[in-house]
Amino acid sequence: MSGVSENRVLAGSPSTGEAARGGLIADVPRRALILLGLFAALLLVAPATVGDYLLSVMILVLYYAYLGLAWNVMMGFAGQFSLGHALYIGLGGYTAGALFVHYGLPPWFGMVVGAAVAAVMGGVIGALGFRFGVKGVYFALLTIAFAEFTRILFDHWGWVGASSGLYLPVEYRDTDDLWLLRGSATMFYYVILAMTAGAFILCHWLLQRRVGYYWQAIREDQEAAQTLGIDVFRYKMIAVMLSAAMTAIGGVFYAFYYNNLYPETIFSMHRSIELMLGVIIGGIGTLFGPILGAIVLTTLGEMLTGLTEDLGLDGIKQMSYGVALLVIIVYRPGGLWPWLRRRLGLEKPR
Amino acid sequence: MPIDFLLNILVAGLLTGLVYGLMALGLSAIFGVMKVVNFAHGDMMVVAMYATYTLYTAAGLEPVAALPLVAAGLFVFGFALQRGLVNRFINATEHMQFLLLLGVAMVITNGTLMVFGPDARNVQLDYAFDSYNVGPLIVDKVRVIAAGVAGGTALLLAAFFRFTVTGKAIRACADNFTGAQVVGLHVNHLYAVTFGIGAACVGVAGTLLLLITDVHPHLSTDYTLLGFIIVILGGLGSLGGALLGGVLVGLSEALSGALIAPSLKSMFSFGLLILVLLLRPQGLLGKQA
Amino acid sequence: MSKKSEILSAKPISRRLFTGGIAAGAALAATGLPTRRARAAAPLKIGVLLPRSGHLALIGQQCQRGADIAVPLLADMGHSVTLMNADIESSPDVARTQAEKLIREGAHVLMGAFQSDATAAIAQVAEQKGIPFIVNIAADPAITEQGYKFTFRNFPTSPMLGMGGMSLFKDIFAATGTTPKTAVLMHVNDSFGMSMLKGIQALTPKLNLPFKIVETIAYDPKARDLSIEVAKAKAAGADMHMVVSRLNDAILMVREMVKQQYEPMGIISPGSPGMYEKQFFKALGKYSEYCITNVPWFDPKQEMTSVLGAAFEKAYPDQSYELNIGFTFEAVLIAADAYKRAGSTDSKALAEALRASNIAKRVMIGGPIQFDEKGQNKNLKSAAVQNRGGKPVVVMPKESAEMAPVFPMPGWKARS
């Protein structure tokens, strides 16, 4: 595994607590700031220049980048492997969707409730798992088991439409309604862009705080962290609950963007796998990895879709995802971002 | 509820459970020795099922006759997979191994989709419809065969690990990796043999399963998950545990299906899994880690 | 692999070739018939969105065949259309981006998508862009209840399917002089199965059906094994076995029924896939016989049906000629017909023309294809299709029937 310093991409030096408190960008190399600014500006003006199709692809990229950032908090920062994150997407989406459908409550309210529900659920799984000493792959299987369990439960739960699915009413209006999240793709683009940026800044900030260092200590060596007096249980719980809550907010976005929810699709294990593929390819534990991974994977996917039509080989896209995963795991287990960062000359001065 | 209905249900659950157990043997053997969780387990089984199908349609070989061939083929496949890919990761973290095999699984699933297409395939044999009448019981012939093979395979494996030189050497690797290296065992080779044997068990299971269910590329994930449930229930690495876990899942599915609602039956399996993970993570017959 | 190449040669234009793409695509498609049939008028570009990989790949590829074969047939009838195909991978997310993509690449009409969630996602895009969207197959009633102006569905909603299927029961009983008193219902627990169940429960008293449903058994769509479910059905001891299934589970179910020596008067589906498909016949042989499915089906009395059937048999001898083919073909037909009347590819004009559709010469049973204000075709009827001599045969309604129904069916052991 890559060392601690590998993973602190744009974060400041660990030695100066003041620097961290002095501002989010205090210790970031200037070159990185310029590139980041350019990247942000590009994202901000994108809807005005790209067509609807590209916009929808970019929404997908940002959506996966967001989910990847959320998953990364748990896996990349604190080292707890979850294979059941679809559970939190579903809980967030269903909570906000059902509150909207049944009581007309706005998604922003549903977001808070959904995040809370997911955090509690994550807390339950985490508490059970950590207290009973369920580790590593067993913990991953525990997360799958909970996700599958919930999928079947929702398949039978009439209030949320059971297996017939939950449809959010779609109405058309000329103006965007940000309060009820009804409107054009451009609005959804800026919403998910804001969410991703928020998640990015949050992660960046967390990594500079004590909690960030504790997480990394736990990830690298739990026993050692324990000996140093870190409350391992508490910090792992924070990671799981935060990651679950963030993922649930992504689920709320999903519900209002697609307007229909089926337990079969939203709780599916394939979704859990999909959302972590990007992070692994981009670089687990890095800040930019999830974003880079989402860009690479979605672009690759869109290119391969064209190839599918030409060759008549259905399934080539998913197959290439598998190959990409293998290549990364075998040749660049740290992901693409650490490599790209070196190429861009963004290494921290030592 | 009539008693003969309940009896029939229990027998069906027991037999199905033994078939499940057979399917999980390979997963358990591989983990027991290498501590590698094979996420491509269900995919290897789908490959075995397609191999059986191809042998039947192209060469007219009946599944029971094709069984040794498929098992041998899967052995080679497993051996090569371990040697070529998995072995590099033998000392990597668990999640890296997991992700590696997930990649393998994705390649296999979509590879079979590209080669065989999405249609379900099966072999049509008259005896696949037969059943025995024993008093009030109606017992499915194919499941009896499969259950018998499951028991036989487990015994063979146990005998192999206990009595043969290679088997003993493999157990030595499993018990003490460094020690095995010190006394000069070819650990890499032994690991590859183990992976091959695990794959061969999967091959046997897949061949027999084709008599019970049709094969299509997307069968794999469900069987991988089912395999995990079973071996964790029984204890990862324990051969008897795999059979016991299979029977437990089979019976729990049968009873929850009969008494509550069939569509909820896999929820009970996952519930069982959660309970065992929390209360006895080493599984019912597993050794304390 | 020969199957793949057939699909390719039947694909008139690959989308990438259209946009001037890569050499491999060009080389493959050049052997097809891309430009030979081009008319003076620019062809209508239909964006076909189907789940050709993922867990619905089987049906998605089947639908695709219905679309592919439509192009040369329609060309012979003087219609000029080309297909722009996109695989939605059985996922609503992919469906949405692919719909956007096809629109960007110039699709005049969208068509798809078999699965209800993906269809709902595409309908939203179509509505926002003002591009007409023809639903070939998708039964969730919600799709045409959203007030969409550009979505047209030539497929019954699940209540319609249930109604059409249930009302045929009485006709079958009357024609055969056999009336069961009780029935057991086995249904798959997914969105389709659930909405069918609701329909059946609501309709049984309303239609005054002679039998009572004594037990309802729901099973997981991913069921690996149906032995418990069938044992339960057998224990209920009902006269008739009703099913709402998919393909794989229908095969598992009948195989299990034979093994458990469960012999009801008949196996009848009030409207679900599975029992009329080639794979069902292949897997079960003689045990596939006499099962009845009440579904919208080809009208053997329509001329176009035999033309389509012959062309399909020639192009895909190993594939089932069933309703997925028929409805996907009709979706292309509807688009082509609207284009002819609209005389332009303008989306507003096309939508207007679609709304005014009135197509009497079609392949499926029912009145002419017309859409109501919600975009739903109400002139769809179900037929009772019985498996006879290794293929599905229309036995009801009388005016379309090719054979008389057999009910009760002979027992498993009595078959040779």
Q: Are residues C274 and C332 part of one domain?
A: no
Residues of B with CB under 8 A from a CB of C: 2, 5, 8-9, 12-13, 16, 110, 113, 115, 117-120, 122, 124, 128-131, 133, 138, 140-141, 212-214, 216-218, 222-223, 226, 253-254, 257-258, 261-263, 265-266
State yes or no: pLDDT of A10 exceeds 60. no
- Band of the pLDDT at B78, cuts 50, 70, 90? very high
The more confidently predicted of residues A269 and A161 is A269
Query: C65 and A233 in contact (C-beta within 8 Å)?
Result: no
Query: C234 and C214 in contact (C-beta within 8 Å)?
Result: no
Are C232 and B258 in contact (CB < 8 Å)? yes
Residue C257: per-residue pLDDT: 93
C-alpha span between B195 and B188 (Å, rounded): 11
User: Which of A133, A145, A321 is facing B274, going by the closest CB pair?
Assistant: A145
Residues of C in contact with A314 (CB under 8 A): 52-53, 57, 61, 87
Residues of A with CB under 8 A from a CB of C: 51-57, 60, 152, 155-156, 162-165, 167, 169-172, 184-185, 258-260, 262, 264-265, 302, 305-315, 317-318
Q: How far is B2 from chain C (nearest CA, A)?
A: 8
What residues contact residue A350 under an 8 Å CB cut-off, 6+ apart?
Answer: none
Average pLDDT over residues A293-317: 79
Where exactly are the structural domains of chain A? 52-158+176-268
Q: What is the pLDDT of residues A38-83, one digit of tens each?
A: 888 888 888 888 877 888 889 999 999 999 999 999 998 988 889 9
Chain A CB within 8 Å of residue B94 CB = yes
Q: What is the pLDDT of residues A92-108, one digit of tens each?
A: 999 999 999 899 889 99
Map tokens 């509820």 to a residue.
B1
Q: Are residues C211 and C177 part of one domain?
A: yes
State yes or no: pLDDT of C20 exceeds 70. no
Whether B244 is covered by a domain: the verdict is yes
Q: Are residues C150 and C16 part of one domain?
A: yes
Q: How far is A79 from chain C (nearest CA, A)?
A: 29
Q: What is the pLDDT of residues C260-313, one digit of tens each?
A: 889 999 999 988 888 998 888 988 889 999 999 999 999 888 889 989 999 999
User: Which of B94, B110, B273 is facing A137, going by the closest CB pair?
Assistant: B94
Residue B222 CB burial class (10 angstroms; 0-12, 13-18, ≥19): middle
User: Which of C24, C100, C146 is facing A310, going by the closest CB pair?
Assistant: C24
Q: Give the nearest chain C residue to A59 (CA atoms).
A: C97
Q: Give the nearest chain B residue to A220 (CA atoms).
A: B93
C-alpha span between B235 and B28 (Å, rounded): 8
Q: How far is A198 from chain B (nearest CA, A)?
A: 28
Domain, as residue range, for C344: 2-155+300-355
3-state class percentages of chain A: helix first, strand second, coil last, to nearest 5: 75, 0, 25
Chain A CB within 8 Å of residue B90 CB = no
Chain A CB within 8 Å of residue B225 CB = yes
Instruction: Give the count of domains, chain B.
Output: 1
Q: What is the CATH number of the domain that holds B8?
A: 1.10.3470
Residue C40: per-residue pLDDT: 46
- Length in residues, chain C: 416
State yes or no: pLDDT of B1 exceeds 90. no
Q: How far is C288 from chain B (nearest CA, A)?
A: 12
Residue A174: per-residue pLDDT: 66
Q: How far is C247 from chain B (nearest CA, A)?
A: 9
φ/ψ region of C127 (left if φ > 0, alpha if ψ in -120 to 50, else beta) reads alpha
Instruction: Give the count of domains, chain C.
Output: 2
Q: Are residues C147 and C19 part of one domain?
A: yes
Residue C32: per-residue pLDDT: 39
User: Which of A56, A172, A317 is facing C96, going by the closest CB pair?
Assistant: A56
- Band of the pLDDT at C39, cuts 50, 70, 90? very low
State yes or no: pLDDT of B74 exceeds 90. yes
Whether C197 is covered by a domain: the verdict is yes
- Residue C245, classed as helix, strand or coil, is coil
- Residue A91, classed as helix, strand or coil, is helix
Q: Give the nearest chain C residue to B223 (CA atoms).
A: C224
A49, A50, A53, A192, best to mutate vs chain C, most C CBs in 10 Å: A53
- Report the percent of chain C where pLDDT is more than 90: 33
Distance from first CA to last CA of chain B, Å, rounded?
A: 43
- The DSSP bridge partners found for residue C241 are C184, C267
State yes or no: pLDDT of C26 exceeds 60. no
Residue C13: per-residue pLDDT: 39
User: Which of B115, B117, B131 is facing C260, going by the closest CB pair?
Assistant: B131
Q: Among B16, B63, B70, which residue's Cα sits nearest to residue B44?
A: B70
Write down the mean pLDDT value for chain B.
86
Are A136 and B271 in contact (CB < 8 Å)? no
Q: What is the pLDDT of residues A17-42, one digit of tens each?
A: 444 444 555 566 778 888 888 888 88
Q: Give the nearest chain C residue to B117 (CA atoms).
A: C58
Q: Parallel, antiparallel, or unpaired for β C109-112 and C133-135?
A: parallel
Q: Which ipTM value was assigned to this complex?
A: 0.84
State yes or no: pLDDT of A194 exceeds 90. yes
Q: Are residues C269 and C389 part of one domain?
A: yes
Number of helices (H) and strands (E) in chain A: give both, helices first.
Answer: 16, 2
Q: Are residues C117 and C257 part of one domain?
A: no
Strand (E) or helix (H) holding C244: strand C240-244
Phi, psi of C107 (to 5 degrees): -65, 135
Q: Are residues C186 and C277 part of one domain?
A: yes
- Band of the pLDDT at A172, cuts 50, 70, 90? low
Q: Are residues C33 and C58 part of one domain?
A: yes
Q: What is the pLDDT of residues A105-117, one digit of tens each?
A: 899 999 999 999 9
CA angle C155, C159, C163 (to 5 degrees): 95
Residue A25: per-residue pLDDT: 58
Whether B289 is covered by a domain: the verdict is no
Q: Using omega within 30 degrees of 0 as the cis cutoff, is the peptide bond preceding C405 cis?
A: no
State yes or no: pLDDT of C256 exceeds 50. yes
Whether C80 is covered by a domain: the verdict is yes
Q: How far is B253 from chain C (nearest CA, A)?
A: 8
DSSP string for residues in C380-395 = ---EEEEEETTEEEEE
Q: What is the pTM of this model?
A: 0.83
Q: Are residues C142 and C262 part of one domain?
A: no
Residue A343: per-residue pLDDT: 84
Domain, as residue range, for B141: 3-279
- Band of the pLDDT at B180, cuts 50, 70, 90? confident
Residues of B in contact with C65 (CB under 8 A): none
Q: What is the pLDDT of residues C332-366, one digit of tens each?
A: 999 999 999 988 888 899 999 999 989 888 999 88
Buried b (16+ CB within 10 A) or exposed e, C184-219: bbbbbbbbbbbbbbebbeebbeeeebebebeebbbb
Q: How far is B218 from chain C (nearest CA, A)?
A: 6
Q: How far is B48 from chain C (nearest CA, A)?
A: 17
Chain B CB within 8 Å of residue C287 CB = yes
C-alpha span between C239 and B242 (Å, rounded): 41
